[in-house]
Amino acid sequence: MWYRRSEQTNRNAAWYSMLGVVNMLGSLLSYGLAHIQSSVLRPYQIIFLFCGALTVVFSILIFLILPDSPIDAKFLKTDHDKLIAIERLRMNQMGISSRAWKWSHVREAFLDPKTYLWFSMITAIAIPSGGISTFGPLIVESFGFDSFTTILFNIPFGAVQFVATLGSAYLATVWKVKSVLLIMLCLPPIAGCVMLLAVEHDKAHRGVLLAGYYIISVYPAISPLIYSWSAQNTAGDTKRKVTTGILFVGQSVGNVVGPHLYQPSEAPRYTRGLTSNLALFVVLIALVCVGVFSVRILNLRHARRRAQMGKAEKVLDLSMEGQKEVRDKGQVLNESEAFVGDKAFDDITDLKNEDFIYIY
């Protein structure tokens, strides 16, 4: 509701990449706080209380400062400014924020096969995420490091996560495709899991084991791309909210299940956990391929509907173009294409809007 589809991936990644920054700064912070001697609180309690307090403070600030939509934005001083901010979103074909809750959107969200595809994808990546984020320090410690050194070795993990998240989002924006990036991002974690399963866990192989662990740390870049892919292929305010909520449920379920695949008794190899994670990355690749096939079929259906209604069968998706491309290509729209976008702000779902173009 704020950004054109060509802008959403980078914005989402910029927010999500802060998890990498948190891993880097959090490791240093945890290292310092863990050295505090207290007769009342244990080190882990001090760390959790400090981070929890910061979260509460920032959540209040965000609630007070961040507007829900361009219509509510106080920094847009005039109605003309708000109109421009809204009109630039027309070719998204996704509407803007609506206060009306539409049960027809809810029903469609639960009946749309895409919803369960996104749910399966986010669950498939959340399970490894939950396990590795919980047992990652123990995996590193199993290489022969003490607890405090292990904390510091998570700093590179966050650095790789930060670079992978922003880098993949940039490439997805330039290439105008997410499916290829999602498949590419699954390959390093697969290689990393194989390395941790195959290499002997002893001090002589610390370097190789750490390399495998850091290769796995590319996986956090997958989640924001899945969220972006889902959001950019879902229209209708209520449907989009319900779909996002379902994805949050999938991520939560995965984060709960993931740690249970790792058992301390299986240290240092954690065979069941790493093998399960490896299999899920392969499953995710298969799900992405199914997703590409699905949205291609939907685009063909919408093209036929446009032709039947006298509109252009093939249209240019200006929502995925940069500002310069929009200025250049916007001149080539023919008369039949001029009707494309007439439902952009009607708050109808992607399946009901023949002008909606699904992205890969």
pLDDT tens digit sequence for 37-85: 888 888 878 888 988 998 999 999 988 888 877 777 888 888 888 888 7
Q: What is the pLDDT of residue 325?
A: 54
Does 338 score more than 50 pLDDT? no
Q: How many CB atoms lie within 10 A of CB 65?
A: 9
Spatial CB neighbours of 121, under 8 Å, sequence gap ≥ 6: 226, 284, 287, 288, 291
pLDDT, mean of residues 13-22: 89
Q: What is the pLDDT of residue 97?
A: 64
- Among candidate residues 250, 350, 360, 245, the one with its CA nearest the CA of residue 305: 350
Q: What is the pLDDT of residue 214?
A: 93
Does 330 score more than 70 pLDDT? no
Select the more confidently predicted residue: 152 or 297.
297
For the whole model, what pTM was predicted? Answer: 0.84
Select the more confidently predicted residue: 332 or 273.
273
Q: What is the pLDDT of residue 35?
A: 78
Domains of the chain: 5-289 (1.20.1250.20)
The per-residue pLDDT for range 250-303, each reduced to its tens digit, is 999 999 999 999 988 888 889 999 999 999 999 999 999 999 999 999 999 999
pLDDT, mean of residues 325-330: 52
Q: How many CB atoms lie within 10 A of CB 226?
A: 26
Does 333 score more than 50 pLDDT? no
Cis before residue 188, ω within 30 degrees of 0?
A: no
Does 129 score more than 60 pLDDT? yes
Does 33 score more than 90 pLDDT? no
Select the more confidently predicted residue: 31 or 94.
31
Distances 54 to 17, 47, 48, 57, 252 between C-alpha atoms, Å: 18, 11, 10, 5, 22
The one-letter code for the residue type at 46 is I
Q: What is the pLDDT of residue 213?
A: 92
Q: What is the pLDDT of residue 243?
A: 97
Q: For residues 277 and 193, is the Cβ–Cβ distance under 8 A? A: yes
Q: What is the pLDDT of residue 275?
A: 96
Mean pLDDT of the chain, nearest integer: 86
pLDDT-derived band of residue 335, with 50, 70 and 90 as boundaries? very low
The per-residue pLDDT for range 188-233, each reduced to its tens digit, is 999 999 999 999 888 888 899 999 999 999 999 999 999 999 998 9
Q: For residues 21 and 220, is the Cβ–Cβ distance under 8 A? A: no
Q: For residues 82 and 213, is the Cβ–Cβ distance under 8 A? A: no
